Chain A
């Protein structure tokens, strides 16, 4: 039985695809970070209003 060629099974990204994926990853990270800040600020404000 022939061993699977690990090198051949891997998807090889072109430099353009690698660059696009990196930019998408950065964009997703930034959006998620912004959402964390947004929901955190809302939560603080919400509980602040309840406390008053």
Chain B
């Protein structure tokens, strides 16, 4: 007698309809692109020259490591992703990928990226990459995100490591310069995410995530956004002050920082209960432009500064 006598076997066996695009979505390509960009800046700005092969392997492994931590994050956060409008269509809550598949995918890519970086580039950068994945997937996703309104302040460290990683890949060491690049992203993260949380706090509240506006209120969040912006503006100029970027970069960074402060000030002055939240939305939009401009500025400055020795020093 057949075991499957009168039962369609397809009902008891999970048959995946996941496409390669769904697995790509697990890697959070938009976050990955920012990681790749900031890591590339760290790699290029670092002293000395990196041969193209090593540079390519470094960026590839950092990108895959970032993607792996994104997949692990989506595996763990599938329950809250299903509640929030912004994340409900992700592959796991939408049912296109099983949680176990995402977990295996994330773990395999983590192991592959760390081991390859260690073997082909250096073990310092591999160690930092492993710590970054662990920090994002375990410390941030599994602990901080659901327990404290400081989640993105501390968790922001995970997103701050890429330029430091790029620098470590190029030099095999860590110095004050990549730490400054780390700090720029670290201090940028709270005003960026809290501006988003101000106008998306209902979504976060419904999912039970203790974002700052839900826990401390709008007024406190706006004050803290302004406080972090006050720290960020001079920090953006630090590469010029420390001598690894030109004074021209310093001027541009100072102007960008002042504009950031202006948006943060307008957000601070925004009336409590403002439904439109226009200043917060503008700050969120500008914060993305700010980070891109600072790192693109560093990259361009590093490339063109040898051609303006008199002006750039």
Contact = CB atoms under 8 A, between A and B. Distances in A.
Interface of A: 1-2, 4-5, 8-14, 16-17, 20-21, 23-24, 26-27, 38, 41-42, 45
A12 B7 CA distance: 13
B19 A23 contact: yes
B15 A17 contact: yes
Contacts of B17: 16-17, 20
B114 to A, nearest CB: 15
B9 A11 contact: yes
10 contacts: A5-B2, A8-B9, A9-B9, A11-B9, A11-B13, A12-B10, A16-B17, A17-B15, A24-B18, A26-B20
B212 to A, nearest CB: 40
A45 to B, nearest CB: 6
B15 A24 contact: no
A27 B2 contact: no
Interface string B45-82: 00000000100010000000000000000000000000
Given A4-B2, A5-B2, A42-B120, A24 B20 contact: yes
Given A8-B9, A10-B9, 18 more contacts: A1-B1, A4-B1, A4-B2, A9-B3, A9-B4, A11-B15, A13-B15, A14-B15, A17-B15, A17-B17, A20-B16, A20-B17, A20-B19, A21-B16, A24-B23, A38-B57, A41-B53, A42-B53
B18 A20 contact: yes
A23 B120 contact: no
Contact of B4 (A8, A13, A41): A8
Given A17-B17, A23-B19, A45 B9 contact: no
A4 B4 CA distance: 9
A24 B53 contact: no
Specify which of A10, A20, A42 lies most central, judged by the most chain B CB atoms within 10 Å of its CB: A20
Nearest to B112: A35
A39 to B, nearest CB: 9
A12 B15 CA distance: 10
A8 B2 CA distance: 9
Contact of A2 (B2, B4, B10, B15): B2
A6 B249 CA distance: 72
A36 to B, nearest CB: 13
A42 B15 CA distance: 38
A8 B57 CA distance: 48
Contacts of B10: 11-12
Interface string B6-34: 00011001011111100100000000000
Contacts of A38: 57
A10 B9 CA distance: 8
A34 to B, nearest CB: 10
A42 B57 contact: yes
A2 B1 contact: yes
Contacts of B15: 11, 13-14, 17
